[in-house]
Amino acid sequence: MLTVDQILAAQKAQVATLFDLSSKALASVEKLNELNLQAAKASLSESASHTQAMMGVKDLQELVTLQNAALQPMAEKAASYSRHLYDIATGMGAEFTKLAEVQAADAQKQFVAAVDGAVKNAPQGSESAVAAVKNAVSTATAAMESVQKAVKQATELAEANFNAMTSTAVTAAKPAKAKASA
């Protein structure tokens, strides 16, 4: 049975966790805003430079060369922006995952403690029921660990796929630059 002190301690821990997560979420929003402001400033500056360069174009070949020369840096910048965005998102996701794992471990400890307390007070002759409960708890623990491992592997696979995709996108933009200079 839970005491009033245990309930209060649990509530205090939950409130502290909520404020910690809120502060981390705001930090991620700050990073995202900073990234977007940097991207907007760079885009404005590059647009102004590109417009100035286009104003000085004398023939169609020079225009095509200028446009093709702008493609590669744009692809690289888009890939870089995507990587930064992904890093911010995965960082926040990792914080939530870490917290969820800690919360699950704490809940599991409390449940095991409650089961152990109930087992100590179990009447004689209920050994098979107690063994079944303990077996169910260990099976649930193993299942949770398997799920956590699968989620971690899926996350690593998604990250590898994302990195491969951005690398391919940047590489695909390079032929346009090579053709322009040929």
81 touches 43 (CB < 8 A): no
pTM: 0.63
Give the pLDDT of residue 120. 77
| Calpha distance 6→113 (Å, rounded) | 13
Chain position carrying tokens 């979420």: 25
Ramachandran region, residue 125 (left: φ > 0; alpha: ψ -120 to 50; beta: rest): left
Report angle CA 105, 153, 84 to the nearest 5 degrees.
Answer: 100
Burial of 47 (0-12, 13-18, 19+ CB in 10 A): exposed
| Calpha distance 162→159 (Å, rounded) | 5
User: pLDDT tens string for the chain (182 positions)?
Assistant: 567 887 888 889 889 888 988 999 999 999 999 999 999 999 999 989 988 988 888 999 998 888 888 877 888 888 889 889 988 988 888 888 888 888 878 877 877 777 777 777 777 777 787 778 778 878 887 887 888 788 788 878 877 887 777 777 667 766 544 554 44
Amino acid at 55: M
179 touches 63 (CB < 8 A): no
Chain position carrying tokens 């990587």: 83
Q: What does the radius of gyration of the chain's CA atoms come to, in whole angstroms?
A: 28
Give the pLDDT of residue 180. 47
Which of 12, 171, 175 minimizes the C-alpha distance to 79? 171
Give the pLDDT of residue 174. 65
| Calpha distance 34→95 (Å, rounded) | 20
